[in-house]
Structure 1
Amino acid sequence: CREALLWQALHHPFILPFLGIDRHTFPASLCMVSPWMKYGTILKYLAYRGREDVARLTFEIATGLDYLHSMNIVHGDLRGNNILISDGYHACLSDFGLATTIQEGSTDTTTGGLMSSSNRAGSVRWFAPELIMPEQFGCERFMRTRATDVYAFACACLELQTGAPPFSELPDVPAMFKIIAGQRPARPENMSDRIWVVVNAAWAADFQQRPDTSRIISSLEE
């Protein structure tokens, strides 16, 4: 399947490894196989172990995302439940079902040159405003890009600090209205100044103003 073809080409310490396809356990379907991650999602890990590792894990997520973008891949569904913790206590990006490849040499600067990204599936609380109302925010159509991944990264940073999704106190539709109105969740009390600066830049309403992943990494290293 498309997800397996894309995933099998990825090799990075902060990307969940792809081991292969299992055709036998469930004969009616093909199963993608990865290592067992006994610590579960990053949200479960932080809830159990405390949040002293948040800064390191945030950096690892940014590094894994930077690798994907360097491989011309947009993750498309970056959020806490799709980030697992390895046996070595490192963040591993997972779930590439909505991942999309980027066409090199495209002249479509508005959408980032994505070949195909019309599938509107995903988690709307992590959606950048241009995914909710494309034309209002300078896009011709619904299109996942590196910039929408960066917006989702900001939301994931919030999750790591709070253990909850953005606008967790609201149903989906009111949360979406807040996003397109330019409103963002309040700063968590325990979030460092450095991460908060990155988050504010990464969830900018104007996708052209968001930093790329290399700039995010540099900011987190300072």
Structure 2
Amino acid sequence: MWHRLLDHILPGEIVGKSTGFTEDIHLDPAQPSFGFLTGIRQLVRYLRAREKNLLMPYDIGIKNEAAYIKSLGANALEDKFHGLYNAILNHWFPSSEGYIIEAQVNVDGGIPEFVVRKVVSTGKNTFSRCPVHVTELKRPSLWTEAGKVKVDRELVGYQETGLKETTYSKIFGLAGIGSRWKMTALIKSGGPDPDLLQDWRADIASDASYSLMEPIVAQAKRLR
């Protein structure tokens, strides 16, 4: 009887199917091995994965904000996108992992939309605040060749400033024109041009964009 309760707790597609884990346990009530402890183990694993956002893309708040911005059309102003990009950055770089996201803080060369810093205590009242990631945005009406050149140029400038400040070997960059986005990394030991990690994609809040951004963010989090 307990598997009926499980049907109410877990999404329907989880019960009786693979959850994508390497050591997956198939929950099939018809199998003799299907028992109470097996189901509890599967439930615990699912809940842990859900907590770590491994089984779902962006949450409902991000999805709704993206839909709202889309409803504004091509003439939406740049600042209408700040909430969406801020929420996405907080999703990937939470303060619980030591990250702080600064919004529109003056740096050498201008004011980027967001700078992600890794804040680490290095002693009594001393801290390391290395920039890890920079975001520069433009309004959707600038989705032109000239607009793409402009946002790329400004983003690289902010990345160059970040490299002077950070102890890390590279700094990641997110360029956005409306909901379209791309990601790069500027390397200290490299040339003046950043490495292209992901070329322009539509709809930064989509499930496809989530999947593309996830491994890039993982690279940023491995910086030491």
Which TM-score bucket, shorter chain as reference? under 0.3
Return the TM-score normalized by structure 2: 0.26
Indicate the structure (1 or 2) with the bigger Cα radius of gyration: 2
| RCO higher in structure (CA 8 A, sep ≥6) | 1
The structure where strand makes up a greater share of residues is: 2
Return the TM-score normalized by structure 1: 0.26
